[in-house]
Copies of this chain bind each other. A is one copy, B any other.
Amino acid sequence: MVPRVLELRQSVLTKNDALARALRTRFHECGLLTLNWVSSPGTGKTALLVHLLAALRTAGHNPIALVGDLETDNDAVRLARSGAPVRQIQTHGICHLEAQMVEDHLKGWNLSDFDFLFIENVGNLVCPSSYDLGEDVRMVLLSATEGEDKPLKYPKLFHSADAAIITKMDLAEPCEFNRDLAAANIHSVCPGVPIFETSAKREEGIELLCEWIVARRSALYTEA
């Protein structure tokens, strides 16, 4: 890229960061824990999130979700089956979510009524890593069908994660997924990050994930 483009890109990122900081302050004033979910297209973010939203609601919580896609509102329709309030962000060609898109889609929600805000990013292992959305927790998802080497090939995204989720563990055997190698690769770019193994199909690993997320929110507001 030419230097002028890099310079302007830097200015876009600086503006995004400032807005993200303002959003984070607002979210904390309302008692929210905000989670940014990033992965490849097809990793199964939506399928897992449907179960997680439902599990949180069963446990007495009030989660909401924003979901980003280039086109279609398929995923919002799927997520809404959990019973949680959900909004679709259509980016129309932009390959990642930005803080401004998040802010634009919060209008009309009284954020103090909720305790968790999930932001399901556009499926992309590169660009979302540069855009802070005001989240407290960034979770990167990797499916058992994608190959264990993804953390090494996309280190920036994995490095910025607060937790990693392996999805589609029901397919681990037919895919000959090597869980130890995947964990070693994740930890080589992000030492010590917690790893959750899940299967939306078999509804496995949801409870543990739910507990961890609830504990993160408690820790945030106990510290504050």
Residues in chain A within 8 A of chain B (CB atoms): 1-2, 4-5, 8-9, 11-12, 40-42, 44, 69-72, 74, 93-95, 122-127, 143, 145-147, 149-150, 152-156, 168, 170-171, 174-175
Chain B hits for A4, CB < 8 A: 8
B155 touches A123 (CB 8 A): no
**In the bound complex, what is the Cα–Cα distance between A28 and B71 (angstroms)?**
36
Chain B hits for A2, CB < 8 A: 8, 11-12
Selected contact of A145 from candidates B69, B145, B149, CB within 8 Å: B145
Chain B hits for A69, CB < 8 A: 153
**In the bound complex, what is the Cα–Cα distance between A93 and B122 (angstroms)?**
18
Q: Which residue of B lies closest to A42 (CB)?
A: B146
Q: Which residue of B lies closest to A148 (CB)?
A: B42
B126 touches A145 (CB 8 A): no
Least Cβ–Cβ distance between A70 and chain B, in angstroms: 6
Chain B hits for A95, CB < 8 A: 95, 124, 126-127
Interface centre among A1, A2, A125, A171 (most CB of B within 10 A): A125
Least Cβ–Cβ distance between A5 and chain B, in angstroms: 5
**In the bound complex, what is the Cα–Cα distance between A122 and B95 (angstroms)?**
14
Selected contact of A171 from candidates B8, B152, B155, B174, CB within 8 Å: B174
B123 touches A123 (CB 8 A): no
Chain B hits for A93, CB < 8 A: 126, 156
**In the bound complex, what is the Cα–Cα distance between A150 and B46 (angstroms)?**
13
A146 touches B41 (CB 8 A): yes
Q: Which residue of B lies closest to A152 (CB)?
A: B72
**In the bound complex, what is the Cα–Cα distance between A95 and B150 (angstroms)?**
14
Least Cβ–Cβ distance between A79 and chain B, in angstroms: 14
Apart from A2-B11, A40-B123, A42-B145, 10 more pairs, CB < 8 Å: A2-B12, A5-B8, A44-B147, A70-B154, A71-B154, A72-B149, A93-B126, A145-B175, A171-B171, A171-B174
